[in-house]
Amino acid sequence: MALREIRVQGDPVLGKVCKPITEVTPKIVDLIDDMIETMYEANGVGLAAPQVGILKRLVVIDVGEGPIVMINPTIVSADGEQTGSEGCLSVPGKAGQVTRPNHVVARFFDEEMNECEVEGTELLARAICHELDHLDGHIYVEKVEGELYDVNYDEEVEE
């Protein structure tokens, strides 16, 4: 396992659409391990592959219940609404108000390429929406209501 460099806003890789994963090769296994380590090291609750420069449809999320590895994830249903503070490891030191669904169901493949489903509310729903946006080249700042504000890096939850 190794830490990977987190790309920051302005890096063109963050604006690209990612490609599906067809096979979990040893390289993908290494990438998953590295992404989890990098996410924890940065105190994030989620990380998408393009944030470490890899244009694959892969995200890792941990909202405090253990890591979820999502390969080729899609949101199959979303309802409700939540508005709250959101940040991103690719936009260090900043946060902003974003409205997201309060409940989502997502389908994805796990590391053995088994089809899985996860249901999330509140922070998990927010994290799923945020990370999946990265796979299509979108960053949360596009959805911020009002201005971005500075946050104390150690106190705020970063996604």
Q: Output 59 or 71, the one with its CB closest to Zn ion.
A: 59
- For residue 159, the minimal CB distance to Zn ion (Å) is 5
- For residue 51, the minimal CB distance to Zn ion (Å) is 6
Q: Output 71 or 94, the one with its CB closest to Zn ion.
A: 94
Q: Output 72 or 90, the one with its CB closest to Zn ion.
A: 90
The total of other beta-carbon atoms located within 10 Å of residue 123's CB is 19
Q: Under the criterion CB under 5 A, does residue 88 sit at the interface with Zn ion?
A: yes
Residue 156 bears catalytic tag: no
Marked catalytic residue, from 131, 142, 145, 147:
131
CA 124, chain centre distance (Å): 10
What SS3 state is found at 85?
Answer: strand
List residues with catalytic annotation: 131
The contact set with Zn ion (CB under 5 A) reads 88
